[in-house]
Amino acid sequence: SQEVLMSLNSTAFSHPPYFLLTGIPGLEGEQFWIAFPLCIMYGIALLGNITLLLIIKTEPSLHEPMFLFLAMLAFTDLVLSNSILPKTLSVFWLGSGKIGFSSCLTQMFFIHTFSIVESGVLMAMALDRFVAICFPLRHSSLLLVPVVVALGSLVLLRWVLLVTPTCFLLHQRHFCQQPVIAHSYCDHMAVAKLACGDIRVNAYYGLFVLFMVTGTDLVLICVSYTKILRVVTRLPSREARLKAFSTCTSHLCIMLAFYTPGLLTTIAHRFGQGIPLPVHIVAAHLYLMVPPALNPIVYGVRTKKLRDRVVILL
């Protein structure tokens, strides 16, 4: 028995050399065609966000807080879409689902970090709209470029510090299940379910991070827009109210596109045991890919300065 105990201790933190991503269980025949709309969204995300970054970089008149935050959002969307889609397409089209243990944790880190960083950037954009509408005379003095850069850095650092422990927790575990992940990318809980023993720590920490997002970003966004609505409704003319609120509509559309499917997906994943697994996986892909594809379109159409620059560029 002592030899058995020593053997168990020697493999306490052993890892499989690789995981096998299966794609969408139950839709193996259909996932080849499901990849096409995902590929189209991926192409739109790449083209749209790279175009936004180039326009904002080369046009000095766009070097103001609103567009600098938009550049951060575009960069975040590029990292997020490139973290998930290349491997997903190789699984769906080529059946190449093998991914190394370290590569899996790296992909998981980037997907979870930058999906949450997007929430932080949206919160910073809401604060920018709050200052611009509620304190218009002080906007340019309060939100200087160094302040915007510092906010962006804090958003990234905050979520890197929150997501890193999830990778550390998984790295410390011994995996005794078959290394098969019923997904097309490395999701935190999908990987954790393959570990031996009790994984409640992983589940509870994941919920803690989720509540940190909803408890900070969403609260600040709601407070900002509550104060914005109060100021806008007190403006003397209808034209002034429409003009003030029109500067927020793009941001509101992006927030609805990001938070609504994100919250529904999270709730369904945690509490919707009766929902089929393929529905969970397809919804997760839409949650991660729709915002990167939609953001540049919404801002390109709704923002006159960007729309004019795109017309000139074309």
Measured CA to CA, the distance from residue 210 to residue 309 in angstroms comes to 38
Question: In which band, very low, low, confident or very high, does the pLDDT at 12 lie, cut at 50, 70 and 90?
Answer: very low
Measured CA to CA, the distance from residue 238 to residue 230 in angstroms comes to 14
pLDDT above 80 for 135: yes
Residue with tokens 């052993």: 14
Residue 262 one-letter amino acid: G
pLDDT digits (tens, 9 = 90+) for 142-186: 778 788 888 888 888 887 888 888 888 888 887 877 888 888 888
pLDDT digits (tens, 9 = 90+) for 18-67: 888 888 887 777 888 888 999 999 999 999 899 889 888 888 877 888 88
Measured CA to CA, the distance from residue 232 to residue 225 in angstroms comes to 10
Cβ proximity of 10 and 57 under 8 Å:
no
pLDDT digits (tens, 9 = 90+) for 245-258: 777 777 777 777 77
**Integer-rounded Cα radius of gyration of the chain:** 22
pLDDT at 43: 93
Tell me the pairing of strands 98-100 and 18-21: antiparallel
| Domains of the chain with bracketed CATH | 18-311 (1.20.1070.10)
> Who wins on pLDDT, 307 or 69?
69
Residue 288 one-letter amino acid: L
Question: Where in 60-162 does DSSP place strands (E)?
Answer: 98-100
Q: Where are the alpha helices (DSSP H) in 59-100?
A: 65-94
pLDDT digits (tens, 9 = 90+) for 55-68: 888 888 778 888 88
Highest mean pLDDT among 75-79, 151-155, 212-216: 75-79
pLDDT at 39: 92
